[in-house]
Copies of this chain bind each other. A is one copy, B any other.
Amino acid sequence: MANLEIIPVPGLPEIGVGDDLATLIAEAGDLRDGDVVVVTQKIVSKAEDRLVEIDVGDPLSHKPLVEQESVRILRRRGELIISQTSHGFVCANAGIDLSNVERGYAALLPEDSDRSARRIRDGIRGKAGIDVAVIISDTFGRPWRRGVTDVAIGCAGIKAILDLRGAPDALGREMQVTEVAIVDELASAAELAMGKTTNVPVAIVRGVDPDWLGDGNVVDEIVRAPADDLFR
C-alpha cells in the first residue's frame, strides 16, 4: 500500500456562470496523471447557472424550490424536508442550500453531476494534457448518525464502487460485504483538506491505486433502486 496525499487547491477565483472550471482548476492546481480531483458541487452549480433568486426577507422562500426539485418526499419535520431528487439522491432539502452563495440566491444541484465531472475531466485532458479522475462532491446528512459528511454526486474516470466480492481476504477466505464506495470515501477525504469556512472548493487526492481508475458513474453505481432499499 502506498501513501495518499490530500492537497487543497486554493486560489480559484469566485466562480460565475459559464466559467470554464477545467481551465481554472488546471491553472490553480499542480495536477498530475492519476490524480483524483474533487470539486465541490457549489462551484459546479454556479458555473452551470443553477442559481435561483429567492426572497431574502423570507427564510422559507427556497422551500417551493425543494418541492420542485424532489420526485418524492420521504420525511418532513419542521422546516426540514428529506426527499428523493430527480437524480435519485436522498438528502435534505433536495440538495439546495444557501451557504457560500451570494445573498438572495439558492444553489440547485447540477442537472447531471456525472456529466459535469466528465466535462471537467475532458477539459483538463484537452487543455492541459493531464489525465485525472474527477469527483463532484456534496455535503449530506444521514440517518442514525449525527453530523454531515461529504459524498460523491458525480464522477468520471474512476469507478464509483470497488467490487471486492469474491476476492480473498487477508486470511485467504472469500470476502463477504465488499462493495466499497470509494468515490464517497474520496469525497470525505477531500473535505478534510478543504474546510467549510474557507474558500477552497477543490482538492486533489494523489496516490490512489491505478486499478480504481476507469469508467464510473455515481447515478448508475451508487444510487440504490427504491425496490432494493429497506428505508424508503
Residues in chain B near residue A145, CB distance under 8 A? 151, 181, 184, 222-224
Separation in Å of the A171 CB from the closest CB of chain B? 6
Q: Which residue of B lies closest to A178 (CB)?
A: B196
A68 at the interface (CB under 8 A from B): no
The B-contacting residues of A in range 90-124, CB under 8 angstroms, are 90, 92, 97-103
Tier of interface size on chain A = 35 or more
A38 to B85, CA, bound (A): 34
Indicate if the CB atoms of A75 and B185 lie closer than 8 Å: no
A24 at the interface (CB under 8 A from B): no
Residues in chain B near residue A168, CB distance under 8 A? 197
Residues in chain B near residue A184, CB distance under 8 A? 145, 147, 149, 188
Q: Which residue of B lies closest to A230 (CB)?
A: B75
Indicate if the CB atoms of B147 and A160 lie closer than 8 Å: yes
Picked from B101, B185, B192, B232, the residue with its CB within 8 Å of the CB of A150 is B185
Picked from B144, B149, B164, B188, the residue with its CB within 8 Å of the CB of A90 is B144
Interface centre among A4, A144, A150, by most B CB within 10 Å?
Answer: A144
Q: Which residue of B lies closest to A186 (CB)?
A: B192
Q: Which residue of B lies closest to A84 (CB)?
A: B144
